[in-house]
């Protein structure tokens, strides 16, 4: 489906194609024109009506389990879930058997550690990671290291640096890739910096034995995500950050990795069989899907993918780019504002809907409280960045700023007028603080 044309700059409410009905903003019932301005879409997105109706419809009509019964209610749900799997695969440029449904992106990254790391890593192997990524892309590897140590296998976690533009430092990564590197993990779109990492500069230079893992929690639903183009072996999505509901996620596992995956959640529906009292894995993706599916969550994901397709990912990306540049330009003009690494420090014209900053004279937490009282909902604090986890210090000033900054994040339902109102409010605060 071709993407609809983006509304002209300054338009208060972009619209779907004429045959699709209402303006985009009207799809999101929680966004009351008389209510506060929501600027925290990197934390979770607002939910469109089709997603709300998918959850309500499951509980209101034909509630049953999937993959368990042969009666029509159950078989229809089984078919519906497999359709969402196929739709998700198409969304990612993957195959259905490479799509695993999880409880979220955090669960997906932990599944990589448990289903792959516990059995694939040997004593002395290394994982390259960024201490400034989201905790969900740091703590699972720390826990994996501790777990393997109990069994006499000691792996190394090797941190790599971040550039002033908020991107993974590919030069530092290249220098730290070694013969014992087995996993390189990176944020596709950083949750604080708003910088995109594709590792394209390293294509062809990474040993095939190194598995590459992308955290696509922020990018999915905001910019195009093609796992084949990224060269990903693993990738995780968070449904609630792409119009879906909490408690649902996706783990992409490239088929070349399948033979190295063991069931980490054995039980009903987990695709294992018993042979000589041992559990043997069977076909993917069910090998990693033990237990009952989050059926309403998966159905909601299917509805969310439908909304994203109708709007068009390219349209969303262009909209967020324009808002980001508008926001950065406004923040640069304010006294006392310090912009964290990200699009504001990049050498090219980029922007993906995430900007973080501090304001001299007031903590990020206090500023967030004041903004909320004035009708602007933003994220403050450390944003789930664990900081120094391997004894390697970076830019101290940046790390201090990260520990209590303000993050503004937008989506297709955010308008130019809302950004302008936010900047006007912040201007007043900045003047009064000084």
Q: Which CATH class is domain 52-308?
A: alpha beta
Which two tokens mark 42? 């990197």
Pairwise CA distance, residues 122 & 142, whole Å: 16
pLDDT, residue 65, reads 84
Pairwise CA distance, residues 114 & 104, whole Å: 15
pLDDT, residue 139, reads 97
Residue with tokens 């503004």: 408
Band of pLDDT at residue 6, cut at 50, 70 and 90: very low
Which two tokens mark 8? 């002209």
**pLDDT tens, 328-351?**
999 999 999 999 999 999 888 899
**pLDDT tens, 240-271?**
999 999 999 999 999 999 999 999 888 766 66
CA angle 125, 162, 334 (to 5 degrees): 160
Helix residue ranges, H only, 354-395: 364-373
Inter-axis angle of helices 416-433 and 364-373, nearest 10: 120
Of 64-78, 79-93, 238-252, give the lowest mean pLDDT range.
Answer: 64-78
Pairwise CA distance, residues 214 & 235, whole Å: 5
Residue 399 in this model has a pLDDT that exceeds 80 = no
pLDDT, residue 104, reads 97
A 10 A CB-CB count for 331 gives 22
CA-based nearest residue to 28, from 14, 11, 8: 14
The answer to whether 189 touches 195, Cβ cutoff 8 Å, is yes
Domain boundaries, the chain: 24-48+312-433, 52-308
The answer to whether 266 touches 290, Cβ cutoff 8 Å, is yes
Pairwise CA distance, residues 318 & 105, whole Å: 25
Band of pLDDT at residue 422, cut at 50, 70 and 90: very high
Question: Among positive and negative, which fits the CA dihedral 398, 401, 403, 405?
Answer: negative
**pLDDT tens, 355-397?**
999 999 999 999 999 999 999 999 996 556 676 554 444 444 4
Pairwise CA distance, residues 152 & 180, whole Å: 17
CATH fold of the domain at 24-48+312-433: 3.90.1150
Per the prediction, the chain carries an average pLDDT of 89
Give the predicted TM-score (pTM) of the model: 0.90
Residue 18 in this model has a pLDDT that exceeds 50 = no
What is the maximal distance between C-alpha atoms in the chain? Answer: 74
Query: Phi/psi at 23 (nearest 5 deg)?
Result: -60, 155
Torsion of CA 222, 138, 254, 87, to 10 degrees: -30
CA angle 198, 5, 12 (to 5 degrees): 100
**pLDDT tens, 171-187?**
999 999 999 999 999 99
């Amino acid at each position: 489906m071709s993407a609809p044309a983006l509304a002209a700059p300054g338009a208060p409410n972009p619209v779907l194609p004429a045959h699709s009905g209402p303006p985009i903003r009207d799809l999101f019932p929680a966004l009351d024109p008389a209510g506060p301005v929501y600027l925290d879409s990197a934390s979770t997105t607002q939910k469109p009506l089709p997603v709300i109706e998918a959850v309500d419809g499951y509980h209101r009509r034909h509630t049953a389990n999937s993959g368990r019964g042969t009666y029509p209610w159950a078989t229809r749900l089984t078919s519906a879930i497999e359709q969402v799997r196929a739709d998700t695969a198409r969304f990612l440029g993957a195959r259905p058997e490479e799509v695993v449904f999880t409880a979220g992106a955090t669960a997906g990254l932990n599944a990589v550690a448990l289903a792959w790391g516990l059995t694939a890593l040997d004593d002395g192997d290394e994982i390259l990671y960024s201490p400034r990524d989201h905790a969900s892309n740091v703590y699972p590897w720390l826990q994996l290291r501790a777990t393997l140590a109990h069994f006499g296998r000691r792996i190394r976690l090797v941190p790599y640096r971040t550039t002033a533009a908020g991107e993974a430092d590919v030069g530092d990564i290249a220098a730290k890739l070694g013969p014992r590197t087995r996993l390189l993990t990176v944020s596709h779109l950083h949750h604080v910096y708003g910088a995109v990492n594709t590792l394209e500069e390293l294509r062809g230079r990474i040993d095939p034995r190194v598995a590459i893992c992308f955290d696509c929690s922020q990018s999915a639903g905001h910019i195009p995500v093609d796992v084949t183009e990224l060269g990903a072996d693993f990738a995780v999505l968070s449904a609630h950050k792409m119009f879906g509901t909490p408690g649902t996620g996706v783990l992409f596992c490239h088929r070349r990795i399948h033979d190295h995956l063991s069931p980490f959640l054995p039980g009903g529906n987990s695709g294992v069989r018993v042979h000589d009292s041992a559990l043997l894995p069977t076909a993917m993706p069910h090998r990693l899907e033990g237990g009952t599916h989050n059926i309403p969550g998966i159905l909601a994901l299917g509805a969310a993918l439908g909304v994203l397709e109708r709007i068009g990912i390219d349209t969303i990306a262009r909209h967020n780019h324009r808002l980001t540049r508008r926001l950065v330009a406004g923040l640069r003009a304010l006294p006392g504002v310090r912009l964290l690494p990200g699009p504001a420090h990049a050498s090219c014209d980029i922007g993906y809907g995430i900007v973080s900053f501090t304001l001299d004279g007031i903590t990020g937490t206090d500023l967030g409280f004041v903004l909320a009282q004035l009708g602007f909902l933003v994220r403050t604090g450390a944003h789930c960045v664990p900081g120094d986890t391997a004894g390697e210090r970076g830019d101290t000033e940046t790390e201090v700023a990260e520990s209590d900054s303000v993050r503004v994040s937008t989506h297709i339902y955010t308008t130019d007028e809302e950004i302008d109102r936010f900047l006007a409010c912040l201007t007043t605060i900045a003047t009064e603080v000084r």
